[in-house]
Chain A
Amino acid sequence: MTSLVIAEHDNASIRGATLNTVTAALACGGDVHVLVAGANAGAAAAQAAQIAGVSKVIHADGAQFAHGLAENVAAQVLAIAANYSHILFPATAGGKNVAPRVAAKLDVAQISDITKVDAADTFERPIYAGNAIAIVQSLDATKVITVRTTGFDPAAATGGSASVEAVAAASDSGKSTFVGSEIAKNDRPELTAAKIIVSGGRALGSAEKFNEVMTPLADKLGAAIGASRAAVDAGYAANDLQVGQTGKIVAPQLYIAAGISGAIQHLAGMKDSKVIVAINKDPEAPIFSVADYGLEADLFTAVPELVKAL
């Protein structure tokens, strides 16, 4: 029994979500291999070989993998899939894009967003925005899985000494081509990997106010910035900052929610945070029911005060 983890990387380095996925793979039992499919991704492959618990890194290189196109990455996974009992992807935008393609081609069910491995064929996963936890057993020979990273601790990034094996790259499917991307550049930690997140809601009232109030707090704490769906829908914050059932699922050490009422869809994305602080002037806001520390106050005075007091 051997598991294959599909690495998330930017060709130069391995992304954090890969480490949590390795932990989930180790829990399935047996050896763990990591696939790095990239373009000039030797550095990422070398880094993957350092991950504790990984016994082999498989490195497929080619320009067709530069942007992680689903058709091409899936073809590469399928080329080596027969060697594996479990194929695990992080449940990131990239992993979610590719994994079902692999599962369908293998004619197996996919087990999405697992939060726990109960046995090699039995997994726990949240359903209905986390309002229920299902324990499911796979009846298929190969288990294709996406791993909710907040459910598993990251494997140590160093200490391993896996061999790196180069394999022939699956050819370009030619089905889709990359045109361009707009990636927000900033020095903040990644939302899904941040230790502290400060999140703003509709109460901020405008994009200007959102920036003016939330940014100093994030800067002071070295935190990532998140937002509720209402704030994103209203255009106060970028789409990829949305925390919730269908946005980012986060579990930082500290989550500060300012002006967020706490719809179940939002709670689904952050209720596993270690410590939750809610700042809201509505005493009935549902966010208070999950907050460790609730401050009933106007965020426009409380947040700047907090920045000063820190």
Chain B
Amino acid sequence: MKVLVPVKRVVDYNVKVRVKSDNTGVDIANVKMSMNPFDEIAIEEAVRLREKGVATEVIAVSCGVAQCQETLRTAMAIGADRAILVQTDVELQPLAVAKLLKALVDKEQPGLIILGKQAIDDDCNQTGQMLAALADLPQGTFASKVEIDGGVLKVTREIDGGLETLSMNLPAVITADLRLNEPRYVTLPNIMKAKKKPLDTLTPEALGVDVAPRLKTLKVSEPAKRGAGIKVPDVATLVDKLKNEAKVI
């Protein structure tokens, strides 16, 4: 069984982004870029499935600018066998990415697609569900545990208030939540090995997908600043302030 894992190149989670002075977006020139953390978890899960003998091949996919190759090399250093870059300079929104992935699903016929549940740049949380809809596949989103037995997938999902377990036939789409696994550290030998693994480049046009954005960003601005308050010397003062100043207890 092939496992397809889409990965996104995003601003590193440690970087505090700044809004551009002309309010057209955030300034991502010269900031550190990394693989979306949830996608790292997705790759790790796919590689573990291959190591357990459940999967035979792990294919990493990224959609976007040429530099996404670096993200794909990281995915292959974690253990993906090969990679596909759908290269474009157009700003890609989740629906467009889902359509590109659908075209690749048709081409590669994977038994399982694992995505991160959310990208930490646009915070959309859409692509996995959209792909499942377009490919007419069952979905197990926000997964914290994945078990595959025969052609059946059991996925434990994080929901409000606790966990739920669903069962579905493969092929299926999973989106990874934080607690699905802890991704391994990539080692230097594996980084070297990843450089030799195959990386194919395609274009949206070759896949016959229109990627034009459907949402227009009119303005990006700083959020309202929350001023720092005061330090209180002791618990008694804190209680007094909460009762008599803030009046919240």
Contacts and interface: CB of A to CB of B under 8 A. Distances in A.
Interface of A: 67, 69-71, 74, 92-94, 96-105, 107-113, 122, 126-140, 173, 175-184, 190, 192, 196, 221, 229, 232-233, 238-240, 242, 245-246, 248, 253-254, 264-265, 271, 274-277, 288-297, 302, 305-306, 309-310
Given A74-B133, A240-B160, A309-B235, A291 B167 contact: no
A182 B160 CA distance: 11
Interface of B: 11, 13, 16-17, 19, 26, 38, 93-95, 98, 117-118, 120-134, 137-142, 144, 154, 157-169, 172, 177-179, 213-223, 226, 228-232, 234-236, 238-239, 241-242, 246, 248-249
B45 to A, nearest CB: 16
A13 to B, nearest CB: 14
Consensus secondary structure, chain A interface? mixed
User: Which residue, of B98, B154, B219, has the highest number of chain A Cβ atoms within 10 A?
Assistant: B219
Given A127-B123, A246-B178, A179 B158 contact: no
B249 A182 contact: no
A292 B153 CA distance: 48
Nearest to A305: B235
A292 B246 contact: yes
CB-CB nearest 9 A-B residue pairs: A100-B129, A292-B229, A109-B214, A104-B130, A175-B138, A181-B164, A104-B133, A100-B126, A183-B162
Contact of A181 (B124, B132, B162, B241): B162
A93 B166 CA distance: 15
A293 B229 contact: yes
B223 A126 contact: yes
Contacts of B131: 104
Nearest to A96: B125
Contacts of B163: 181-183, 239-240
A201 B236 CA distance: 23
A179 B221 contact: no
Given A139-B215, A239-B144, A132 B95 contact: no
Contacts of B138: 71, 173, 175-176
Contact of B221 (A69, A108, A132, A183): A132
A309 B236 contact: yes
A294 B160 CA distance: 30
